[in-house]
Amino acid sequence: MTDWAEKFTGIQLQKAYKPVMDHNPVMTQRFGADPYALVYDGRVYLYMTGDHLTYDASGALTDNNYGDIRTINVISSADLVNWTDHGSVYAASEQGAAKWGGNSWAPAAAYKNIDGKDRFFLYFANSGNGIAVLTADSPVGPFTDPIGKALISRQTPTCGEVTWLFDPAVLMDEDGSAYIYFGGGVPSPEKAADPGTARVAKLGADMISLEGDPVPIENVKYLFEDSGINRMGDTYYYSYCSNFSMTEEARKELGFSDGEIVIMKSDSPMGPFETVRGVLRNPGSFFGRGGNNHHCIFCFEGTWYIAYHARLLEEAMDLTGGYRSTNIDLLRFDAEGVPAASAGTKSGVEQVGHLDPFAVTPAVTMATGAGVDTRPYGETAETFGSGDMALTGIGDGSWTCIIGADFGEGASSVTFEAVGEGSGAIRISQDTPTGKVLGIIPVESPGKEAKKITGNLNESISGVHNLFFTFVGEGYELLSWQFAK
């Protein structure tokens, strides 16, 4: 019998792409750009453009050109620190839900109770030429195309002249009505100060049609892209990214700069809106690597946050190519309660509550990790790209981390669910990767069907602690874990 404890002696931990206590970027196993947050049933779901590394014919890394992005990455969290990977929605192309579409950029998500059942709606841009909508019975899918064509196209009234017909955002108002915001681009250099390419339309009650024609959002100063919309009290805040053609005089007059997230306000969801201020400078001003700036603002457990993308993961991988990953930071407010200039950080936000280790937790839940990957598990997820996921790519010294698990009065055992023909072991450590070893659980060829493996801990663990799962061996995958008293 293999002495798995011996296998951990002197093991070299694989290197993570972010320090354990840094919470940005929120995910390191994949890229994820243009984040959009949906708060549902005590969790925040993030939907992100599926950036992925691309290479030329010689195998050299190329710059991110966005042309072959056809997936939308989905993760969720109940505490904004430990994130569960739900996979990548196959959104566009013949392999995706919207078979008529070529790309899936800049998603937006919403849900609505229709005929007594919550329905979920995922909107995305088909490159710069229209907006698609997908539907599902769950925030993680499977998503399907209910109309078989674009919801908004260049044939939609007032939209043919929009330079970039993309970047949707959706407002679910308190009276049950819904609105979609989209558009961007600068028609010509002379129109940089007021491009006139932002639009808003009321959505139909079914969320997959328009109730009336889209109308221009007037006086969006130096618009570039990236619609956002939020209601705070009785005020509607429209937000966007400014373009890169601002004059110094305009910067001084308006109080914001190139590539900055700017907010406008109105007492009506369809405007007119008036400019307020910039709320998030270009990520290059915080992290050194600039690029486009894309955001969403959301409220969770009574606190407002701003999610945006930067190039931290790309930099940690020692790559250059404009590949983006998602961060979350606090949205700041002035003394009057109006959103104000916020800061991008690597540390991110504080944990909201603690993780319950006695609940069945997907193994693809982590605050950070190293040397691991994820893949769709089961026929539905494999067909549609999102849903149940397996932790895969396991090898010697790979690991994952959970921040702030609350064990209460104590746990004495743990059960893992595993699949695969390989073998190895899982070392469970408390607080740090090399901290107190709570147990080493062998995984001996679990097989093609999911198998539960239960092991006793060396000693009970109680109170709030970080957890580290370190792996040796290969050829096995993990589906879930759960501690017991």
Q: Are residues 372 and 458 in the same domain?
A: yes
pLDDT digits (tens, 9 = 90+) for 281-315: 999 999 999 999 999 999 999 999 999 999 999 99
Let me know if residue 348 belongs to a domain. no
Q: Are residues 105 and 52 in the same domain?
A: yes
pLDDT of residue 10: 87
The percent of residues in the chain predicted with pLDDT above 90, rounded, is: 97
What's the number of domains the chain is made of?
2
Q: Are residues 424 and 476 in the same domain?
A: yes
Stretch 196-212: mean pLDDT, rounded? 98
Q: Are residues 220 and 158 in the same domain?
A: yes
pLDDT of residue 74: 98
pLDDT digits (tens, 9 = 90+) for 335-344: 999 999 999 9
Q: Are residues 299 and 424 in the same domain?
A: no
Q: Are residues 192 and 318 in the same domain?
A: yes
Active-site entry in 34, 145, 167, 226: 34
The single-letter code of the amino acid at 369 is G
Q: 3 pLDDT band (50/70/90 cuts)?
A: confident
Domain end, chosen from 280, 313, 330, is at 330
Active-site entry in 51, 85, 145, 225: 225
pLDDT of residue 306: 98
Domain that holds residue 466: 361-484
Active site annotation includes 145: no
Res 57 pLDDT > 90: yes
Closest to 418 in 3D by CA, of 461, 455, 447, 393:
447
How is residue 423 written in tokens? 């073998």
Q: How high is the mean pLDDT of the chain?
A: 97
Helices marked H in 179-269: 248-254
Stretch 470-476: mean pLDDT, rounded? 97
The percent of residues in the chain predicted with pLDDT above 70, rounded, is: 100
Active site annotation includes 274: no
Stretch 153-172: mean pLDDT, rounded? 97
Q: Are residues 208 and 285 in the same domain?
A: yes
> CATH number, domain at 173?
2.115.10.20
Q: 394 pLDDT band (50/70/90 cuts)?
A: very high
**Close Cβ partners of 154 (under 8 Å, ≥ 6 residues apart):** 129, 130, 160, 162, 165
Q: Are residues 314 and 229 in the same domain?
A: yes
Res 459 pLDDT > 90: no
> CATH number, domain at 443?
2.60.120.260
Res 103 pLDDT > 70: yes
Cβ proximity of 479 and 415 under 8 Å: no
pLDDT digits (tens, 9 = 90+) for 255-279: 999 999 999 999 999 999 999 999 9
Q: Are residues 297 and 380 in the same domain?
A: no
pLDDT of residue 5: 86
Residue 429 phi, psi (nearest 5): -120, 150
Let me know if residue 346 belongs to a domain. no
Let me know if residue 402 belongs to a domain. yes
Q: Are residues 236 and 383 in the same domain?
A: no
Let me know if residue 352 belongs to a domain. no
Q: 168 pLDDT band (50/70/90 cuts)?
A: very high
How is residue 113 written in tokens? 């109770």
Q: Are residues 321 and 389 in the same domain?
A: no
pLDDT digits (tens, 9 = 90+) for 17-40: 999 999 999 999 999 999 999 999
Let me know if residue 322 belongs to a domain. yes
Stretch 40-66: mean pLDDT, rounded? 96
Q: 137 pLDDT band (50/70/90 cuts)?
A: very high
Residue 327 phi, psi (nearest 5): -120, 160
Structural element, H or E, at residue 484? strand 477-484
Let me know if residue 10 belongs to a domain. no
pLDDT of residue 153: 98
pLDDT of residue 318: 97
Let me know if residue 341 belongs to a domain. no
Res 1 pLDDT > 80: no
Cβ proximity of 366 and 400 under 8 Å: yes
Q: Are residues 189 and 114 in the same domain?
A: yes
How is residue 31 written in tokens? 């890229």
Let me know if residue 455 belongs to a domain. yes
Domain end, chosen from 308, 330, 352, is at 330
How is residue 22 written in tokens? 């840094």
